[in-house]
Copies of this chain bind each other. A is one copy, B any other.
Amino acid sequence: MAPLLDKIEEMLLMGPGPSCVPEAIYAAIRRPTIGHLDPHFIAIMDAIKTQLRELIGTANQLTIPISGTGSAGMETCFVNLIEPGNRVLVLSNGVFGVRMQDVAGRLGASVEALEFEWGTPVSVDQVARRLAERKYDIVAVVHAETSTGVRNPIEDIGKLLSGSGTIYLVDAVTSLAGIPIDMDACGIDALYSGTQKCISCPPGLSPVSMSEKALAKLKHRELKVPNWYLDLSMIVGYWAGEKRSYHHTAPINMLYALHAALDLILAEGVSKVFERHGRSHEQLVAGLDKMGLKMLVERPYRLPMLNAVLVPEGVQEAVVRERLRTEFHIEIGAGLGPLAGKIWRVGLMGHTARQTNVDRFLDSLKKVLN
């Protein structure tokens, strides 16, 4: 093997993703590559669609993994649903809300942002007031803001949009498989996620789902989707057509891994998986509290899978991360944007969210800080 690959050491991945990958998924990703139109592969694709529907809580026919990472899912949702001049409202309280604005703006949308302080959630009241004032073609929000550890109230925002003509677009990259999400009950029209967070699969795919309402908007576009690779009207011909037609060559082995990862989650039971995330989070926060460390986010808005921990006064945060990495083989994340240098981002995603991992992290952090 190439020497650099030989020398890779197993890390406890407690950053903002990728998360730890279970052995069964490594066993899956190395199964023999077969053709992307092989009937056996088509059966795996069909199984993945069924698994994703269950996990996402949707009956949407168009529920498939896109051949790119989570940001490709973001791009997919926006590029298929925006037509030039469309009015897009982004509810924004972190890096990924800002990214949504950039993505939508490049596609010719008229983008407005309703901004909230980083570390606080989107205020449903403020959203209600804005929606009473103006109409939008698309309202977009991040469910779990990976840059701050804040959980946004996607259920209540969904109620505000219910029955309107507005497309409701939700980023579920970090939330999916970590906290409950019920796409259909929330009235979400377009949702995207990533594989390397709570699904605990290597990065490289982005589950996407679209409602009939979203598909109707796609179908009645005046202009072609200005992105051939991510044009869902063609991709569905491969993923869901009666006679599967070639669009692009699917990332076969990554799809094996996703199928195995979803299989593990559904076998454990999604509610058990959510409980495990919650328990690990409580254990982590209690341990940090004992050490005198504080969280960025108020308790009711905290995500279990992404914990923003305030860096204590006088501590060099990068040195702590570096020592955790080199001495203890633990990766945690740095703050982004205005939170750079001010927080650590401690991930408890998917397979990582276990008592032994939290114990190991807390012990190691104590040693580094003392």
Residue ranges of A at the interface with B (Cβ–Cβ < 8 Å):
1-2, 4-5, 7-11, 13, 15, 17-18, 20-21, 24, 26-36, 38, 40, 43-44, 47, 67-72, 74-75, 79, 99, 102-103, 105-108, 194, 196, 202-204, 224-230, 246-254, 256-257, 259-260, 263, 325, 331, 336
Contact B30 A27 (CB under 8 A): yes
Cross-chain pairs A/B with CB under 8 angstroms, 9 sampled: A2-B260, A17-B249, A18-B249, A21-B32, A34-B331, A67-B68, A72-B229, A106-B228, A202-B253
Copy tally for this chain in the complex stands at: 2
CA distance A246 to B336 in the complex (A): 9
Contact B1 A28 (CB under 8 A): yes
- The majority secondary structure among interface residues of chain A is loop
| A247 surroundings in chain B (CB, below 8 A) | 71
| A71 surroundings in chain B (CB, below 8 A) | 228-229, 247-249
CA distance A27 to B253 in the complex (A): 13
How far in angstroms is the closest Cβ of chain B from A97?
14
Contact B9 A36 (CB under 8 A): no
Contact B7 A40 (CB under 8 A): yes
The answer to whether residues A248 and B70 also contact, given A103-B228, A226-B106 and a CB cut-off of 8 A, is yes
| A34 surroundings in chain B (CB, below 8 A) | 8-9, 11, 13, 18, 331
